[in-house]
Structure 1
Amino acid sequence: MTHSRTASATDLSALIQALPKAELHLHLEGSFEPELMFRLAQRNNITLSYDSVEALKAAYQFNNLQEFLDLYYQGMNVLQTRQDYYDLTRAYLDKVHSQNVRHVEIFWDPQGHLERGIDFATQIGGILQALKEARSQNGISYRLIMSFLRHLSEESAFETLELAKPYLDEIYGVGLDSSEMGHPPEKFERVFEACRELGLKITAHAGEEGPADYVWQALDLLQVDRVDHGNRSLEDDALIERLRDSQMVLTVCPLSNLKLQVVKDLGNHPIPTMLKAGLKATINSDDPAYFGGYMNENLIQLQQAVGLSADDIITLTRNSIEGSWAEEARKKELLAELDRVVAEFN
């Protein structure tokens, strides 16, 4: 497409809005906008450490992953009832519907709620109610992914898996998130083996702050179906070759990388290098309420920072649809819609 070299930023932003998108890396608890957090805190008679929405927003400045997680877990505390989980999920789905996100794969962290005394049924009941409503009302297909917290023990992960078993017809995959450094994938090898035996899809955060070795462990020990983040894979030529040859999906999160200082400048983001290397990279928002943007903001700001072409944007969007865990018929439907938008853009 020759237009890709000459399209204006305005044209490319319009293209980004128009494309049907799939989001593969979204933490439900990370979509907690300050206004909603305050509303639920008041509803549940919980006092936050901040006296206003503005003060809370001002705290959304982080030097590393751990500083973010400290605030993230504090925010979780206001989630008490099934209605709270519904409200949080629905708010995210309404937001991304306005950005033409057509398929979502949502992580949630049951352990972070269980240890506060919120039972599994309360959590998943509210989340699924919102997902099913958005599917019927807005045409947003979904997969729900249960994440294990890597700063906790593998024993805790096994206990959580037991609680999840009655709901496995609604849980499509399992992930691994939270503090990466010091908690390598190998720590969870047995529980992920058990998950695979149950027929669950497998993904894991690796190579965000942790080394390229953590990506190798995710591939070889956890036998992941895709890798979340994976930025530091670029430090290892053999790993780049492995990822390229297998077309392993990488769920990359640009504004998250910037906000958590994984990259110091969005203009130096590794996405162009990944695309040039033939890696199956995708763009996602991670924790959009904390990091300053949902899907479209991630794509638009990255495009402006690194000069993505229309072809690059289309490739990243196509990768997300193809790399999703949606049913094949749904993928074909979204890819056909993508092709129609591209033809109009031409």
Structure 2
Amino acid sequence: MTPLPKATPLPKAELHLHIEGTLEPELAFVLAERNGIDLPYATPEQLRSAYAFSDLQSFLDLYYRLTAVLRTEQDFADLAEAYLVRAAGQGVRHAEIFFDPQAHTSRGVDIGTVVRGLAQALDHSEERHGVSTRLILSFLRDLPAEDAMRTLDEARPYLDRISAVGLDSAEVGHPPAKFAEVYAAARAAGLRLVAHAGEEGPPGYIAEALDVLGVERIDHGIRCLEDEDLVARLVAEQIPLTVCPFSNVRLRCVDRLEDHPLPAMLAAGLLVTVSSDDPSYFGGYVEDNYQGLRTALGLTDEQLRQLARNSILASFVDEPRRERLLAELAAHVAPPHRPEA
């Protein structure tokens, strides 16, 4: 029997992707050798086996430890290029990429080194890979707000390459309101605004991110379902939620993929998108998340297509690019399903 054609991934945007979280163990070892850094693991396989997390903090501990291998512009360029190659193969046509400058400046790597290095790959990503990109500077919420403001000031010479600011790292105990002043400054600088909220933190953090920070998009947001009034607001205002299913399971916010609230979120009319968050650490890139949802939750082709459409609608692309991406999605035809004989 002639094998079925391999399904071509749906064209999609990825809106919740931390570039440091795409550092695969093999590349980590290459960069460590390049920069004369000793990793506390003998092989890439041994490092990968350490990717077992009990909660967000246990992940962050390893995540920040491995950033030590990123030192030069070339390191950041190689990191971004490796992601773009994988993303293109997973149907990504547009990527909005977080980076954590404080994780680098705190160890003596200048923010210009980070931005220029990433730009070496991102500036050519559409030509080389068919992937347009935006760069989002993300503040570490477990550091003082004054540190975030200093980071924004350090980034000002590079704002022509940065589209938005975000807020990530340990959520519990670090409410969005802590960063009201720096978000106001970012808005005044012409930057778009997003924030992680409602993953480990309570639903109230989502409302606070909207009302105090003025964000346009919520990263994660899965705990919104605990507040009916908040859900009604998110639906009415069509606030996008960038949900990361594999991440939610690996960080123990959801017990199993089969228990993920995404179907309930779709049924409620929420503008849900799917991304991979930190794919090297969480077991898969964005199309892997799509297919995992199909298998674990029985999502239909039409539901997956809606997620892809939502991702394009929720992105920060210009309107001509948005229309081209929507047209590409509309024209996408999945190979016919042939039942087993």
Shared topology, TM-score over 0.5? yes
Counterpart residue identity of residue 218, structure 1: A
Aligned partner of 1:273 among 264, 267, 272: 264
**How far is the alpha carbon of 1:18 from its aligned partner?**
3.2
SS in 1 for 2:206: helix
Instruction: Name the CA distance, whole Å, in 2 between partners of 1:342 and 1:202.
Output: 34
2:40 aligned with 1:49: yes
Instruction: Name the CA distance, whole Å, in 2 between partners of 1:99 and 1:296.
Output: 5
**How far is the alpha carbon of 1:343 from its aligned partner?**
8.3
Aligned partner of 1:213 among 197, 200, 204: 204
Aligned partner of 2:215 among 211, 217, 224: 224
Instruction: Name the CA distance, whole Å, in 2 between partners of 1:18 and 1:92.
Output: 16
Aligned partner of 1:141 among 118, 129, 132: 132
Instruction: Name the CA distance, whole Å, in 2 between partners of 1:18 and 1:302.
Output: 14
Paired residue for 2:300? 309
Aligned partner of 1:334 among 302, 325, 333: 325
Paired residue for 2:68? 77
Paired residue for 1:86? 77
Any conservation in 1 of the 2:93–2:132 contact (CA below 8 Å)?
yes
Instruction: Name the CA distance, whole Å, in 1 between partners of 2:72 and 2:209.
Output: 34
**How far is the alpha carbon of 1:139 from its aligned partner?**
2.0
Paired residue for 2:193? 202
Aligned partner of 2:15 among 7, 11, 24: 24
Instruction: Name the CA distance, whole Å, in 2 between partners of 1:191 and 1:122.
Output: 23
Instruction: Name the CA distance, whole Å, in 1 between partners of 2:122 and 2:198.
Output: 30
2:115 aligned with 1:124: yes
Task: Give me the identity figure in percent.
Answer: 53
Evaluate the alpha carbon distance shift between residue 232 and residue 113 of structure 1 in structure 2; reply closer, same or farther with a 3 A threshold.
same
Paired residue for 2:275? 284
Instruction: Name the CA distance, whole Å, in 2 between partners of 1:298 and 1:99.
Output: 10
Evaluate the alpha carbon distance shift between residue 52 and residue 344 of structure 1 in structure 2; reply closer, same or farther with a 3 A threshold.
closer
Instruction: Name the CA distance, whole Å, in 2 between partners of 1:344 and 1:279.
Output: 29
Paired residue for 1:250? 241
**How far is the alpha carbon of 1:344 from its aligned partner?**
7.5
Give me the CA root mean square deviation.
Answer: 1.4
Gaps of 5+ in 2: none
SS in 1 for 2:69: coil
2:193 aligned with 1:193: no
**How far is the alpha carbon of 1:133 from its aligned partner?**
2.0
The TM-score normalised by the length of structure 2 is 0.96
Paired residue for 1:296? 287
> Deviations for 1:210-256, whole angstroms, at most 9, x for unmatched residues?
00011011010011010000000000000000000000000000000
Instruction: Name the CA distance, whole Å, in 2 between partners of 1:107 and 1:177.
Output: 9
Instruction: Name the CA distance, whole Å, in 1 between partners of 2:23 and 2:288.
Output: 17
SS in 2 for 1:146: strand
Instruction: Name the CA distance, whole Å, in 2 between partners of 1:118 and 1:345.
Output: 51
The TM-score normalised by the length of structure 1 is 0.94
Instruction: Name the CA distance, whole Å, in 1 between partners of 2:194 and 2:45.
Output: 35
**How far is the alpha carbon of 1:342 from its aligned partner?**
4.4
> Deviations for 1:280-313, whole angstroms, at most 9, x for unmatched residues?
0000000000000001100001111111011110
Any conservation in 1 of the 2:95–2:132 contact (CA below 8 Å)?
yes
Paired residues in the alignment total: 334
Instruction: Name the CA distance, whole Å, in 2 between partners of 1:110 and 1:309.
Output: 39
**Runs of 4+ residues over 6 Å off in structure 1:** 343-346
Gaps of 5+ in 1: 1-9
2:194 aligned with 1:169: no
Counterpart residue identity of residue 184, structure 2: E
SS in 2 for 1:286: coil
SS in 2 for 1:117: coil
Instruction: Name the CA distance, whole Å, in 2 between partners of 1:287 and 1:269.
Output: 18
Paired residue for 1:6? none
